[in-house]
Amino acid sequence: MMEDPRSNGIHYSGPAGVGALFDASMDPATVLRMRLNGWVFFDYVDNGTLLACGIRKGPEIHITVAPGRRGTAINRRTLRGFLGPLLEEHGYLTTRVARTRPEQRDFVVRLGFQKTWEDPMFHYYLLGRVPMQRTSP
């Protein structure tokens, strides 16, 4: 687990230092180009632990869960804390998954995204409300 001294919640990037999981796995020139093209990198911290990182441009979002937290990091409370503020800002979120990545497709569906369409390269998804919300009977 990656210990993180920041408070709980979403932490947006400055020029560097946030989106650590993406920065570590992507070519630095690609990260710089994405930042210059308007992509914002962010981390999600819960109880002093970095759980996930994301990149977003408007309502489009892409997420990676921290190593060692995969399969354990996402529950109802963390989903509300992570996706809730982003949904409030835009009213919806979108993502896309390469057709060659079924494990990523399964992940976004588990998060609550609904498939909207596809093209030869990608499946496209929409999330219109905080997933796993309890509803009144």
Confirm if 41 and 83 have CB atoms less than 8 A apart.
no
**Residue spans of the chain under pLDDT 50:** 1-2, 4-5, 14-17
Positive or negative torsion for Cα 12, 15, 17, 21: positive
**Distance between CA atoms of residues 25 and 34, nearest Å:** 14
**pTM of the predicted structure, to 2 decimals:** 0.76
Q: What is the CATH number of the domain that holds 39?
A: 3.40.630.30
Number of domains within the chain: 1
* 47 within a domain of the structure (yes/no): yes
pLDDT tens track for 60-75? 999 888 777 666 656 7
pLDDT at 99: 95
Owning domain of residue 78: 9-127
pLDDT at 94: 97
